Amino acid sequence: MTQNIKIRKGVDIKLVGTPAETVSVAKRSKTYAVKPPDFVGLTPKLKVKEGETVQAGSSLFYDKKKESVQYASPVSGKVSAIVRGAKRRILAVIVEADASDTYIDHGALDISKSSSEEILNRILEGGMFPFFRQIPFDVVADPSDSPRSIHISGFDSSPLAGSSCSSLEGRVEDFQNGINALAKIAGEGGVHLGVKPGCNVFGSVTGCTKTEFSGPHPAGNVGVQIHNTMPVNKGEVVWTIGYQDVANIGSLLSSGKYMPTKVVACGGSECANPQHVSALVGAEVQSLTEIPEEASNGDSVRIISGSVLTGEKVEKDGHLGAYHIGLALIPEGNESRFLLSNGWLSLGLDRFSMSKSYLSWLRPKSKEYTLDTNLGGEERAFVVTGEYEKVFPFDIYPVHLLKSILVNDIDAMEKLGIYEVSPEDFALCEYVCTSKVPVQQIVREGLDTLRNELG
């Protein structure tokens, strides 16, 4: 019997440009990028130089602090650039792709007969380990930890999200292999899969505890699912991984090859052809979908790798982020707004708002909105109370936790439950905030402070 948990707090923001169910295959991108900043907590140490040829699965760099964690090239080709930012921080390793891939062959592994150590080592050397993240701190997991349990959210509930049925079409066997492998390396808590009621793609999957989560976003956030089933206590470590990455682990172990496929949901009001596109991790965004001409000057269309609530702004020639399974194109909102026509005194029929102070709440719930990137106001002190609580399905007081982070009170952060949250869980708080507080950034800083403090 699958347990069903109803998430009552949250909101589904309906945006124009929902991706169609169809899955097309992206054209092969000219270059692929592995971007160290995608992996929180990573201190990269390069293993390749510019101009070197690599195979698909070759390690490009590894983590200085966790040396066994390898970051692999998704394709074979030539390292064309190592992009550095301030203080020579490595921002990206760019690989110019060959016409077709040659792989490093790790050989197939019989999961049922292998030990957990063998499986973990294969995941590490095969380059799939960085896709594990851990709670607390929402950073790349540490292979020397033994996780209490491993959690997978089987669906994305964010705006413009893709469908897991489309994304996993034909990959259920890989997914099952991945689950079998995770079951070996998970601790006593086992492997947990959160599924959406009515989604049949996981129907045949065994070897994990399935829980149904219904309700609005953030029901699909793995942090929400963990909190509502097996909350993380101080001292415990759990690992999380995306459902597509589970299938990629399955394929790595059964084929011996690193083929990090992602089915990316491309959508948004500026996206000409909203649909699912299958590509490799790190592909150029323009290989996934047509980028409108206006985007080239960079001030009329925002290209977001990932979800509109948590993703990262990329340029037209940018690359897909490692954890991202969405690509959104929405208008920039850099025009100022006159108070009566579309500013703060307008009727606001086109302004989606959690509060009902704009008249858009009178429109049908299914109405899709075109939202842009305008802040919609200026940053202010915390004034309104109770609004975060409406979209934050945790037994945690979000504003008080944020305030404890702002005053850097580590003891209070611990007590108020910082070990259970990741920035993405606060994305809707940031969305609804009247005072336009950069909530996710504050949570990230709090997690980093605590991580440094605890060594």
Q: For residues 328-347, which are near another protein according to CB under 8 A?
A: 328, 330, 332-339, 341, 343-345
In whole angstroms, the minimum distance from the beta carbon of 166 to another protein comes to: 24
Q: Does 240 bind another protein (CB under 8 A)?
A: no
Contact 99, 29 (CB under 8 A): no
The number of angstroms, rounded, from the C-alpha of 279 to the middle of its chain's C-alpha atoms is: 16
Among the residue ranges 237-245, 257-265, 281-289, 355-363, the one whose residues contact another protein (CB under 8 A): 355-363
Pairing of strands 70-72, 59-63: antiparallel
Place of tokens 């957990």: 116
Q: Among residue numbers 372 through 431, which ones bind another protein (CB under 8 A)?
A: 372-378, 380-387, 389, 395-397, 399-400, 415-417, 423, 427-428, 430-431
Q: Which is nearer to another protein, 15 or 34 (CB)?
A: 15
Burial 335-352 (b: 16+ CB within 10 A, else e): eeeeeeebeeebebeebb
Number of alpha carbons in the 13 Å side-chain half-sphere of residue 308:
33
Q: Are strands 139-140 and 20-25 parallel, antiparallel or unpaired?
A: unpaired
Q: Minimum CB separation from another protein for residue 343, in Å? A: 4
For residue 104, the tally of other CB atoms under 10 A from its CB is 19
- Rounded-to-integer distance, Cα 94 and Cα 98, Å: 13
Out of 356, 364, 365, 407, the only residue in the binding site for another protein (CB under 8 A) is: 356
The CB-of-271 to another protein minimum distance in angstroms stands at 14
**CB of residue 243 vs another protein: minimum separation in angstroms?**
23
Point out which span in 35-43, 120-128, 283-291, 434-442 binds another protein (CB under 8 A): 434-442
Answer for the pair 40, 291: CB distance below 8 angstroms, yes or no. Answer: no
**Smallest separation (angstroms) from another protein to the CB of 390:** 8
Nearest residue (CB) to another protein, 4 versus 357 = 357
Please identify which residue in 434, 445, 448, 451 interacts with another protein, judged by CB under 8 A: 434
Nearer to another protein, 52 or 395 (CB): 395
Encode burial over 162-189: b for 16+ CB neighbours within 10 A, e otherwise.
Answer: bbbebbbeebbebbbbbbbbbbbbbbee
**Which range in 31-39, 75-83, 218-226, 436-444 contacts another protein by CB under 8 A?**
436-444
Q: How far is the CB of 247 from another protein (least distance, A)?
A: 28
Rounded Cα–Cα distance for residues 146 and 291 (Å): 43
Q: Hey, which residues between 131 and 160 contact another protein (CB under 8 A)? A: 159
Task: Report the C-alpha gap between 322 and 128 in whole angstroms.
Answer: 11
Tokens of 108: 């197939």
d(CA 148, CA 327): 32
Number of shown-chain residues binding another protein (CB under 8 A): 78
Say whether residue 432 binds another protein (CB under 8 A).
Answer: yes
Residues of this chain, 283-302, that bind another protein according to CB under 8 A = 302
